[in-house]
Amino acid sequence: MFSLKNKSAVITGGGSGIGKAIAVLFAQQGASVHIIELDKESASATTSEIQQSGGTASFHICDVSKQQQVVDTFNAIGQIDILVNNAGIAHIGAAATTAEADFDRVMNVNVKGAYNCLFAAIPLMKAKGGGVILNTASIAASVGLVDRFAYSTSKGAIFAMTLSVARDYLHDNIRCNSISPARIHTPFVDGFIAKNYPDNQEEIFDKLSKSQPIGRMGKPEEVAALALYLCSDEAGFITGCDYPIDGGFIKINT
């Protein structure tokens, strides 16, 4: 079950964190993985890790906010069976404290970046008779989080984008779903805590962990397992859906 043999998977932001876990798992399941990254070091390291484990992977340095770069990169890849729109950045701030430049930066990467990849991938999928798209949204699309105005706005757009694409391409055999993680323990989280709370890192980590009712952060590998299911043939009857993976945050958080 959940084989991706003979399938080509493009994963944006695939060099680290959730994207890396998805890339590694998809390669284990037989996919030819294409990592889209700005960070050459992380992209190269993840690609080498996959290849050393017997998988097939390559990386492409590309700024997803630049449409022509994305189109050229995707056309060079050619066959795209699976697109995982995972690249994204965060920002701390409320509506009245978010500078225009910061808002634009988040929108350019999180929203325009996903749009650019859809713009480039969908024609390739249509030409080959179908495909699967998975967008990384967030619990921030469904609940109010303190000081996450720009980030929440961008992830709400991703959720709406998912519904639109699923509806528009029903008859082209293209499925589109999204996943909404809560806090996942990645190097980004460790870096965020170290930068903003250098004097009480353990306390903040514990606080963030316990904000999920289940009592801990998620693991990138757990998100990757959900992504694998949704991108596999076994999920062929699923489109236009968002799947929280949040330790109970949305439904049972008290």
| pLDDT tens-digit readout, 197-222 | 899 999 999 999 998 999 999 999 99
Structure tokens at 73: 């990169």
What tokens were used for 2?
């959940």
pLDDT on residue 147: 84
- The pLDDT confidence band at residue 21, using thresholds 50, 70 and 90, is very high
Residues 151, 169, 197, 243: which is the catalytic one? 151
Percent of the chain's residues with pLDDT above 90: 89
Confidence at 254, pLDDT banded by 50, 70, 90: low
Residue 253 confidence (pLDDT): 67
Using CA atoms, how far residue 26 sits from 4, 23, 61, in Å, is 7, 5, 20
pLDDT band at 85 (very low <50, low <70, confident <90, very high): very high
pTM of the model: 0.95
Other CB atoms within 10 Å distance of the CB of residue 207: 12
- 139 pLDDT higher than 80: yes
Quick check: is 229 catalytic?
Answer: no
- In this prediction, residue 187 carries a pLDDT of 86
User: What is the band of 244 on the pLDDT scale with cuts at 50, 70, 90?
Assistant: very high
Q: What is the pLDDT of residues 147-172, one digit of tens each?
A: 899 999 999 999 999 999 999 999 99
Q: Band of the pLDDT at 192, cuts 50, 70, 90? A: confident
